[in-house]
Amino acid sequence: MLSRTAENLYWLARYVERAENIARLLDVTLRMASLPQQKAGGDSEWRSTVIASGCEESFFAGNEHPTAEAVIYYLARDPDNPSSIVSCLETARNNARMVRTGLSISMWEAINATWIELNTLGEDDFKPERIGRFLDWVKERSLLFGGTVASTMLRSDAFWFSRLGMSIERADNTARIIDVKYNVLLPAYETVGGSMDYYQWASMLQSVSALRAYHWVYRDRVKPWLVAELLILKPEMPRSLAYCISDVNRQLESLANAYGDSGECHRLAGQMYAKLRYGKIDKILAQGLHEFLTQFVDDTKDLGEEITRQYLI
Amino acid sequence: MQPEAKPAFFDEMGAPAACRPQYRLISDWLSAIPTETLEIKRREAEFIFRRTGITFAVYSEGGDTERIIPFDIIPRVLDQAEWDYLSRGIIQRVRALNAFIGDVYNAQEFIRAGKIPAELVLHNPCFISEMMLLPVAQNIYTHISGIDIVRVGPGEFYVLEDNCRTPSGVSYMLENREVMRRLFPDLVNRARIKPISHYPEDLLETLRSVAPGNCAGDPVVALLTPGSFNSAYYEHSFLADEMGIELVEGLDLVVQDMQVFMRTTTGLQRVDVLYRRLDDAFLDPLVFRPDSLLGVPGLMAAYRAGNVTIANAAGSGIADDKAIYTFVPEMIRFFLGEEPILRNVPTWRCDIPSERAYVLEHLHELVVKDVHGSGGYGMLVGPHASSAERAVFAEKIRAAPHRYIAQPTLSLSTCPTFVKNGVAPRHVDLRPFVLMGREIRLVPGGLTRVALREGSLVVNSSQGGGTKDTWIIEEDTDAEAKA
C-alpha cells in the first residue's frame, strides 16, 4: 500500500473520531451549563471544555473570555480552527477523496453524504436552540462511518490503519476529558454524594457515552475514583485508555505480521499497554492523576510520531 | 455560403411519424412515460451522481468548485452498421496518428517527403525534443485516445478533433450506463445494448502489454494523477479503483538508479508502467517546468533508459494539435497506404495568408479555435457571436495568426433530450475511446456530449454541456423479419 494512502486512511479515521468527540464534549458542557446553579463559578465549565478540546492556546489567542457563544462557535464551526467539527469533517472528506481507492463504497458514501449535508447547514442550525440537533447529527454520522469501517472493509492493512487512527484519537480525547473535568470537579467538592455532584459526574460519563456502562460495571453510586478507573483501566470499556491502547496494539501487531517487520512504535505501544493492563487506580491517584494523564497524552503523541515514521512517510 | 435561414438539422431519432428503426424502443418509451416521471428520474440520477461524488472542477470561477456534469436520461442510440463504420474509421485514424508520432521522433519521413511544413512540427510547443530517438515499448505512443466525432446526416460523420494526450470522460461513459441501469432496468434490458463495462479490464491489459522489455514478472502499473484538485480527479480514482492499481501522485514516486519506485508501507516498490494523467510539462521538473511539484524528478531519464513506460508517451500531443489535424488524412495515405474512412472537417489555417483573409471575411459563419485551447475555452462561434465579439477575435487572429484555425459551423445532429419544457432536440457529439497495446480495442459506444442550451453547438462540460448514455444496439432481427 502507498504510504500516502495509509496516511490518509489513518487521518480520515482520526478526524471523524475527533469530530465526534468534540460533539460529545460540547453536548455535555451544554448539559452542565444548564444545571440550576454553578457553584464552581461563571465560565469554568466552558473554560475546561476549551482545554479538554486541546485548543486552549488558539482559542485564547482570539477570545478573551470563554463564553458559551464563543466556545460553541469555535469548536463547532470556526473554519479557522482545524479541530472544529466543521473543519474536521471537511478534512476527513478531503482525505477520503484522496484515497477513494482505499475505501469501501459505503465508507465513501457515508463520509461524502455527511459533507454534502454539512454544506446545506445555515446560520440557524448553530443557534443555541438548534445546536443540540447538530451535535446529535455529528455523533450519528461518526457512528455510521465507524459502522461502515467495521462491516464493509477488507481485513487488510487499509482496515488496520483506519482502526489505528480511530483508537489513537479516542485514547487521546478520553485522556484529555478526564484530566480537565476531573480537575474542575474535584477541588470544588470535597464530599461526594450530593445531587449536584451526581449530575456533574454523570455528565462527564455521558460525554464518553459511559454512564450506563458505569452502572453495569459498578452497580454503585457515581464516585470520582471509580469514574477514573472505568475510563482509564477497564478493558471492557470501549473508550477507556486501556481498551484503546490494546486496540492500537492489535492493529500494530496485524501490520507487523503482514509486513514481517516491527519497529519502535510497536515497543512503545506495548509499554503503554503494560502500564494500563497492570496499573491500579489507587496507585495512580496517589501519584497524581494529572501527572499520569499528562504523561499518557505525551506518550500518545510520541506513539503517533513513531507510527508516522514507520509507515506513513 | 449558406444564408442564415433556418438550418435543417438531422435528428437522430427522426420525426414521430418517421422514427428511425434504432430509436423505435426509445420513441415508444418516451411516448408512454409521463413528464413528471422523467423529472423524478432526472433528480434521482443527480442524487446518485452527487452521492457517489462523480464531480468535476470548473476552473476560473468562484464558489462551488465541485460540480456534477448534467446527465441527460434519454440515451443516444447508434445501430450496429453505423458503429461498424465508425470503428473502422477510428481505428484507422489512431493507427495513422501513432505512426506519425513515431515518425516525428525518429526518421521524420513525413516531413522530408514534404507532406507537412517542418516548422509546424518542430516549432510546435507540443513537440518535445527529449523524445527524439527515445525507444518506446512496442513503438506505441497513443495507448489511449479519444476521437471526437460529429454527425450532420444519416451517413455523414466528421472527425472534429483527435485527443492523443490524456483524453478524459471515459468514467462518465461507464457511470452513465450504471445509472441508466439503476433508473430504467427494464428499458436497458430490453434494448440489447453492447456491453462496455469491461473497459477498465481492457485498459489494464493494454497497459500491461506495453511494459518495458526488461520488466521481469508481472508488470506493476500505476496511475499518476496531479491530485485531488484536478478537474478529472474523480475519473483518476475511479479508473485506478476499477483496475485495482495504485493511484499515485508525484510525491509518491521516486527515481533511483534510473528506475521508478513508489513509496509504500513496506518500502519502495518498482513501477513498470505509468498511466499518467498529467501534462507533459509537469512530468519531470529536471527536464520540463522546474517549478512543477506534481511530477517526478528523474522520470525522463528512467524513461530514456527503457525502465518505465509512460502512457501516453511524452510528446504525443504533437499529433492532436489543431493545426496538425489538417494533415491527418494525408498521414493515413502516407503511413497506411489507405484512403481515409472518416472525413475531416474542412479547416482554414490562419497562418496561411490566403486562408486567413478568407477567415476574416467570413467570421460570421465560421467557428474559430485556438490551436492550443481545449475544453471549449478560447473559441468563437461566429453565427452566435455579436459583431463586437467578432471584432475582438479578428484582432486576436491578426496578432497571432498561427494560433488559430477556422472551420465551417457544422449543422450538428440532434438527439431527443429532457430539458425544462419537456423533451426537445439538442446537438450532440461523440467521443469513442481507443486502446492501443499489443492489439487495438474499442469499446462499443463512447461518451455522447450534449449542448443543453437551445441552439447551442458547444458541448463541452465547462460550457454548460451535459452527457448521455450511448447505446450501440444489436440488430433486431425479429423486427426485420416482421417488416
> What pLDDT score was predicted for residue B476?
58
d(CA B361, CA A161): 65
* 118-147 in chain B: CB under 8 A from chain A: none
Q: What is the DSSP string of chain A?
A: -BHHHHHHHHHHHHHHHHHHHHHHHHHHHHHHHTSS--TT-TTHHHHHHHHHTT-HHHHHHH-SS--HHHHHIIIII-TT-TTSHHHHHHHHHHHHHHTGGGS-HHHHHHHHHHHHHHTT--GGGGSHHHHHHHHHHHHHHHHHHHHHHHHHS-TTHHHHHHHHHHHHHHHHHHHHHHHHHHHHHHHH-SS---HHHHHHHHHHHHHTT-HHHHHHHH-S---HHHHHHHHHT-TTSTTSHHHHHHHHHHHHHHHHHHHT---HHHHHHHHHHHHHHS--HHHHHHH-HHHHHHHHHHHHHHHHHHHIIIII-
Q: Looking at the predicted structure, is the pLDDT value of residue B462 above 80?
A: no
Residue B313, helix vs strand vs coil: coil
Contact A27, A132 (CB under 8 A): yes
Residue A288 Ramachandran class (φ > 0 left, ψ -120 to 50 alpha, else beta) = left
**Which residues in chain A touch residue B262, judged by CB atoms under 8 angstroms apart?**
2
Element (H, E) at B446: none
What's the gap in Å between the CA of B13 and the closest CA on chain A?
37
Contact A98 B227 (CB under 8 A): yes
Is B247's Cβ below 8 Å from some Cβ in A? yes
pLDDT tens for residues B139-193? 999 999 999 999 999 999 999 999 999 899 999 999 999 999 999 999 999 998 9
Q: Which residue of A has its CA nearest to B243?
A: A101
What's the gap in Å between the CA of A272 and the closest CA on chain B?
24
Contact B292, B225 (CB under 8 A): no
User: Where does the pLDDT of residue B483 fall: very low under 50, low under 70, confident under 90, or very high at 90 and above?
Assistant: very low
Q: Looking at the predicted structure, is the pLDDT value of residue B478 above 60?
A: no
> What pLDDT score was predicted for residue A200?
74
> What pLDDT score was predicted for residue A193?
44
Contact A112 B51 (CB under 8 A): yes
Is A101's Cβ below 8 Å from some Cβ in B? yes
> What pLDDT score was predicted for residue A219?
84
> What pLDDT score was predicted for residue B457?
84
Q: B317 is written with which cell numbers?
A: 500531443
Q: Which long-range contacts (CB under 8 A, 24 or more apart) does A36-39 make?
A: A37/A196, A39/A188, A39/A196
User: Where does the pLDDT of residue A68 fall: very low under 50, low under 70, confident under 90, or very high at 90 and above?
Assistant: confident
Residue B263, helix vs strand vs coil: strand
- Averaged confidence pLDDT in chain B: 90
Is B241's Cβ below 8 Å from some Cβ in A? yes
Helical spans, DSSP H, in B184-314: 185-191, 199-208, 233-243, 299-304
By percentage, how much of chain B surpasses pLDDT 70?
A: 94
CA dist list (Å): A153 to A42, A145, A162, A254, B357:
47, 11, 10, 15, 64
Contact A6, A161 (CB under 8 A): yes
**pTM of the predicted model as reported, rounded to 2 decimal places:** 0.83
What's the gap in Å between the CA of B171 and the closest CA on chain A?
14
What's the gap in Å between the CA of A301 and the closest CA on chain B?
20
Across the range B18-22, mean pLDDT stands at 91
> What pLDDT score was predicted for residue A192?
42
Contact A92, A103 (CB under 8 A): no
Q: Which residue of A has its CA nearest to B47?
A: A113
Q: Looking at the predicted structure, is the pLDDT value of residue B57 above 70?
A: no
Q: Looking at the predicted structure, is the pLDDT value of residue A169 above 70?
A: yes
* 258-277 in chain A: CB under 8 A from chain B: 259, 261
> What pLDDT score was predicted for residue A51?
86
User: Where does the pLDDT of residue B199 fall: very low under 50, low under 70, confident under 90, or very high at 90 and above?
Assistant: very high
pLDDT tens for residues A218-236? 988 888 888 889 999 999 9
What's the gap in Å between the CA of A228 and the closest CA on chain B?
37
User: Where does the pLDDT of residue B129 fall: very low under 50, low under 70, confident under 90, or very high at 90 and above?
Assistant: very high
Is B252's Cβ below 8 Å from some Cβ in A? yes
B242 phi and psi angles, rounded to 5 deg: -65, -30
In this structure, of A42-46, A68-72, B234-238, the range with the lowest mean pLDDT score is: A42-46
d(CA A190, CA A175): 22
Contact B110, B96 (CB under 8 A): no
**Which residues in chain A touch residue B247, judged by CB atoms under 8 angstroms apart?**
100-101
By percentage, how much of chain B surpasses pLDDT 90?
A: 72
Q: Which residue has the cell 446527465?
A: B71
> What pLDDT score was predicted for residue A33?
76
pLDDT tens for residues B70-102? 999 999 999 999 999 999 999 999 999 999 999
Residue B198, helix vs strand vs coil: coil
| A303 or B421, higher pLDDT | A303
Q: Which residue of B has its CA nearest to A114?
A: B51
Across the range B312-341, mean pLDDT stands at 95
Q: Which of B451, B472, B255, B246 is nearest to B367 (CA)?
A: B451
> What pLDDT score was predicted for residue B480?
45
Q: Looking at the predicted structure, is the pLDDT value of residue A128 above 70?
A: yes
Q: A221 is written with which cell numbers?
A: 453510586
Cβ count within 10 A of residue A69: 12
> What pLDDT score was predicted for residue A190?
47
CA atoms within 13 A on the CB side of B194: 19
Contact B237 A100 (CB under 8 A): yes
Q: Looking at the predicted structure, is the pLDDT value of residue A196 above 70?
A: no
In this structure, of A74-83, B291-300, B338-347, the range with the lowest mean pLDDT score is: B291-300
CA dist list (Å): B418 to A283, B30, B56, B187:
74, 10, 22, 17
Would you call A102 exposed, middle or buried from its count of C-beta atoms within 10 A (0-12, 13-18, 19+)? buried
Contact B286, B293 (CB under 8 A): no
Across the range B235-245, mean pLDDT stands at 91
**Which residues in chain A touch residue B241, judged by CB atoms under 8 angstroms apart?**
100-101
Q: Which residue of A has its CA nearest to B249?
A: A4
What's the gap in Å between the CA of B53 and the closest CA on chain A?
7
Residue B233 Ramachandran class (φ > 0 left, ψ -120 to 50 alpha, else beta) = alpha
Q: Which residue of B has its CA nearest to A312?
A: B265
What's the gap in Å between the CA of A5 and the closest CA on chain B?
9
Cα-trace Rg, chain B: 23
pLDDT tens for residues A220-279? 888 888 888 999 999 999 999 999 999 999 999 999 999 998 999 999 999 999 999 999
Could you give the angle at which helices A3-33 and A85-98 cross, rounded to 10 degrees?
160
- Averaged confidence pLDDT in chain A: 88
Q: Looking at the predicted structure, is the pLDDT value of residue B62 above 60?
A: no
Contact A259 B266 (CB under 8 A): yes
Q: B360 is written with which cell numbers?
A: 476574416
Across the range B406-425, mean pLDDT stands at 92
ipTM above 0.85, yes or no: no
Contact B53, A112 (CB under 8 A): yes
Q: B382 is written with which cell numbers?
A: 461566429
> What pLDDT score was predicted for residue B481?
43
Contact B252 A112 (CB under 8 A): no
Contact A255 B246 (CB under 8 A): no
Contact B263 A108 (CB under 8 A): no
Is B249's Cβ below 8 Å from some Cβ in A? yes
A interface test, pick of B265, B268, B271 with most A CB neighbours within 10 Å = B265
Residue B430, helix vs strand vs coil: strand
> What pLDDT score was predicted for residue A37?
56
Q: Which of B386, B400, B314 is nearest to B351 (CA)?
A: B400
What's the gap in Å between the CA of B264 and the closest CA on chain A?
4
Size of interface A-B (CB pairs under 8 A): 55
Q: B285 is written with which cell numbers?
A: 521538473
pLDDT tens for residues B215-236? 888 999 999 999 988 888 999 9
pLDDT tens for residues B430-440? 999 999 999 99
CA atoms within 13 A on the CB side of A41: 4
d(CA A168, CA A208): 15
Q: B173 is written with which cell numbers?
A: 461513459
**Which residues in chain A touch residue B66, judged by CB atoms under 8 angstroms apart?**
none
Q: Looking at the predicted structure, is the pLDDT value of residue A144 above 90?
A: yes
Could you give the angle at which helices A211-218 and A195-207 cross, rounded to 10 degrees?
110
* 254-313 in chain B: CB under 8 A from chain A: 262-266
pLDDT tens for residues B419-461? 988 999 999 999 999 999 999 999 999 999 999 998 888 888 7
Cβ count within 10 A of residue A130: 14
Contacts of A310 (CB under 8 A, 6+ apart): A263, A264, A265
Q: Looking at the predicted structure, is the pLDDT value of residue B261 above 80?
A: yes
**Which residues in chain B touch residue A162, judged by CB atoms under 8 angstroms apart?**
none
**Which residues in chain A touch residue B238, judged by CB atoms under 8 angstroms apart?**
100
DSSP β-ladder status, B221-224 and B273-276: parallel
Would you call A191 exposed, middle or buried from its count of C-beta atoms within 10 A (0-12, 13-18, 19+)? exposed
d(CA B120, CA B136): 23
Is A159's Cβ below 8 Å from some Cβ in B? no
Across the range B271-293, mean pLDDT stands at 91
Contact A6 B265 (CB under 8 A): yes
Is A120's Cβ below 8 Å from some Cβ in B? no
Q: Tell me the β-bridge partners of B405.
A: B349, B369
d(CA B374, CA B351): 19
Closest Cβ–Cβ partner in B53, B238, B252 for A112: B53
